[in-house]
A and B are shown apart, each in its own frame.
Chain A
Amino acid sequence: MTDSLTGPAAAPAAPPAPDFTQRLRTAVGAPDAPLVLLGNFEVEEQWAAGEHTLPRFSADSGAAVVNRMDEFALLLGRPGDHVVLKTAPDPAYLDYLTGLGVGLPEVHVVAGQRFDRTVTADALDDPALLERLSALGASGARLLPHGTSRPEELLAERTGLPLATPGAARCKAVNSKVYSRRIADELGLRQPAGWTCETVGELAAALEKAKGLLAEGRRAVVKEAYGVSGKGLVVLDGERRADRVLKMLSAKAERSGRPDLAFVVEEWVDNRGDLNYQFTVARDGSTHFDFVKRALTEGGVHKGHRFPADLTPGQLADVTHAAARLGERLAADGYYGVVGVDAILTADGGVHPVLEINARNNMSTYQTRLQEAFVGPGRAALARHYPVRLDGRLGFDRLRELLGDLLLTDPAGSGLLVNNFATVNAGLDVRPGEPFDGRLYGIVVAGSAAELDDLDERLTARLQALGAAHVH
């Protein structure tokens, strides 16, 4: 829930580097084309469609919030671009952003959003919107989804809007954890002991090896190849659980008549910190390292990421080396665009630089532009979401009133910069008339780390005291 961002130390003036959004456009081969942005978060669900998975369910309220993360895409676009959203942004929120000098893309709203489906599914169900998008396609625009799966490909086909990403099959393939284990081995990148499994026999053999780890007092994890980060996995703490997983997945494979599986089994490594780094692969095969952030935990609960990641020179070198090698390898396999990688710091002070590859946009991707604009040299920032529970719709005007001077309103000042407001009211229609949970995403910007902590505490207190929401 928390990302801490710090601007670089003041440095001698240098020629301005292209900003992230321009670099991204150039990388995907569309430096001057208008983009049509689509925030189809948890695209992994589509990549996993038809695969054998561990049993899992999600609550409607959770899905509603995830689907409204579509509004992040608003902040990846600039004037001249377009963004498709599930509902029109709160006009007061748009005024707030433009008041800060944030140039925004033109918003296209789907005709009949449903809280339980992605913005892509909503768009495919809206003939008038498809016509408008077709016109944009005819005028040279490109479609840039959060991640590309079959529905986004279908949207591209039905509108004639060319994708600014590789096709769904390529994107799915490079997102597989089977793929990332294999290329990490091939590239000689350090990773936890583990095995890829594409048949029941391979899974059985891998689980036997995992039992060896368990016998030594270590732990192991079974992960779906296409699972969302942190989901679609089970930690094995004993042989019984390993046997149960094998029995369940064998039965699924047998009953379906499809014996192929896509899982990895690996050691669950005791880590000293989770890292996430991003690089951009250009169509010419070159790779640009964008950033590395470190996860923050509080009381064992994941709170987000911190930047800079406070790595030793050796750790940073391991990460940037891995990014360069992975970028080359992905390019050789025909991938281009944004890549986020999860990595961990190990107890011996080293790095496992590739736990999984997310060949799609990441949450941090949508913060990058704001970070460039508002977190200048010597400033600090903390990006997080505040969980909120509401009894009814909260308008941005009311939020602004509640937060008062704690809301960032001066680009050079301090305060909370809201970067997604749709997730606040996302659960409104899930159980009409009942209280609902939402998330207020923002980046707290301050002049120092101490001011940042103070602002964060005051923001939390203000939300609680005014009773508009309560933080769990």
Chain B
Amino acid sequence: MSDTTTALDRASLVAVIGRALGAVLGDGLPELTEDSRLFDQVGLDSSGVFELLMELEEALDIELDTDHLEMSHFETLRSLADFLITEMSA
């Protein structure tokens, strides 16, 4: 786990997540807020989760522990940001 991103502010992290979602889902993303539900509203699907993780790992230069991922981490953009902040500060 890299510590180079621990100082990343939340707004920047949310922007990184938005770009990663765009890379996975392509054009036509709805307007994102922290309350956006990734599956129901943004259009993420089960196979997209892994691609999203890879995009995030590459963008943030981190490696996530994929054994401890939970569905709740991907509920909303907020929950994903919270999860990444916890992981990056661990």
Q: Looking at the complex, which of A16-24, A50-58, A150-158, A363-371 is the stretch in contact with chain B?
A: A50-58
Given the complex of chains A and B, what is the CA–CA distance between A55 and B74 in angstroms? 12
Chain B residues with CB under 8 Å of A234's CB are 47, 50-51, 54
- Of B39, B51, B54, the residue contacting A59 (CB under 8 A) is B39
In the complex, which residues 205-253 of chain A have their Cβ closer than 8 Å to any Cβ of chain B? 230-235, 240-241, 244, 248, 251-252
Q: Is B16 an interface residue when CB atoms closer than 8 A count as contact?
A: no
Name the residue on A nearest B37 (C-beta). Answer: A59
By the criterion CB–CB under 8 Å, are B54 and A56 in contact? no
CA of A58 to CA of B48, assembled, Å: 10
Instruction: Tell me if B87 is interfacial: C-beta within 8 Å of chain A.
Output: no
Interface centre among A62, A231, A240, A248 (most CB of B within 10 A): A248
Are the C-beta atoms of A55 and B40 separated by less than 8 Å? no
Given A59-B40, A61-B40, the answer on whether A241 and B54 have CB atoms closer than 8 Å is yes
Residue A300 CB within 8 A of the other chain: yes
C-alpha gap A349/B11 in the complex (Å)? 49
CB within 8 Å of A: which B43-90 residues: 45-47, 49-51, 53-54, 57-58, 63, 66-67, 69, 71, 74
Contact between A62 and B57, CB atoms less than 8 A apart? no
Which residue in A58, A244, A251, A437 is a CB contact (below 8 Å) of B46?
Answer: A58
Within the assembled complex, what's the spacing in Å between the Cα atoms of A55 and B50?
6
Q: Which residues of A contact B49 (CB under 8 A)?
A: 55-57
Verify B54–A57 contact, CB threshold 8 A. no
Query: Interface size on B (CB < 8 Å)?
Result: 19
A254 CB, nearest partner CB in chain B, Å: 11
Chain B contacts for A235, CB-based, 8 A: 51
Q: Is the CB of A231 within 8 A of B46?
A: yes
Cβ contacts under 8 Å, A300 to chain B:
26
B46 touches A248 (CB 8 A): no
CB closest residue in chain B, given A435? B40
Tell whether A55 pairs with B54 under 8 Å between CB atoms, given A61-B40, A231-B47, A437-B40.
no
One digit per residue, 1 when the CB lies within 8 angstroms of any chain B CB and 0 when it does not, for chain A 46-86 equals: 00000000111111011000000000000000000000000
Kindly identify which residue among A233, A244, A251 contacts B54, using a CB–CB cutoff of 8 Å. Answer: A244
Given the known A-B contacts A61-B39, A244-B54, A244-B57, are A230 and B67 also in contact in the complex, defined by CB atoms under 8 Å?
A: no
With CB as the reference atom, state the residue of chain B lying closest to A224.
B47
Contacts of A252 in B (CB 8 A): 67
Q: How far is the CA of A308 from the CA of B63 in the complex (A)?
A: 47
Q: Which residues in chain B, 21-53, are within 8 Å of chain A measured between CB atoms?
A: 26, 39-40, 45-47, 49-51, 53
For A55, list chain B residues within 8 Å (CB): 49-50, 53, 66, 69
How many A-B pairs with Cβ below 8 Å?
48
Of the residues B26, B40, B63, B71, contact of A57 by C-beta under 8 Å = B71
Bound together, the chains give a CA A221 to CA B77 distance in angstroms of 28
Chain A residues with CB under 8 A of B57: 244
Give the residues in chain A near B69, CB-CB below 8 Å.
Answer: 55, 57
Q: Is the CB of A56 within 8 A of B40?
A: no
Q: How far is the CA of A437 from the CA of B43 in the complex (A)?
A: 12
A231 to B46, CA, bound (A): 7
| Known contacts A240-B58, A300-B26, A437-B40; A57 and B46 CB within 8 A of each other | yes
Question: Is there an interface contact between B50 and A56, defined as CB atoms closer than 8 Å?
Answer: yes
In whole angstroms, what is the CA distance A252 to B26 when docked?
30
> How far is it, in angstroms, between the C-alpha of A248 and the C-alpha of B49 when the chains are bound?
15
Instruction: Compute how far the CA of A185 lies from the CA of B39 in the bound complex, rounded to whole angstroms.
Output: 38
Query: Complex: how many Å from CA A151 to CA B10?
Result: 45
Q: Which residues of A contact B74 (CB under 8 A)?
A: 57
Q: A234-B51, A241-B54 are in contact. Are A56 and B46 (CB under 8 A)?
A: yes
Please give the distance in Å from B56's CB to the nearest CB on chain A. Answer: 12
The reply to whether B45 and A62 form a contact with Cβ atoms under 8 Å apart is: yes
Which residues of chain B are within 8 angstroms of A230 by Cβ–Cβ distance? 47
The 6 lowest CB-CB distance pairs between A and B, nearest first, are A59-B39, A58-B46, A231-B47, A57-B71, A56-B46, A55-B66
27 cross-chain CB contacts under 8 A? A54-B50, A55-B49, A55-B50, A55-B53, A55-B66, A56-B46, A56-B49, A57-B49, A57-B74, A58-B45, A59-B39, A62-B45, A230-B47, A231-B45, A231-B46, A231-B47, A232-B47, A233-B47, A234-B51, A240-B58, A241-B54, A244-B54, A244-B63, A248-B66, A251-B67, A252-B67, A255-B67
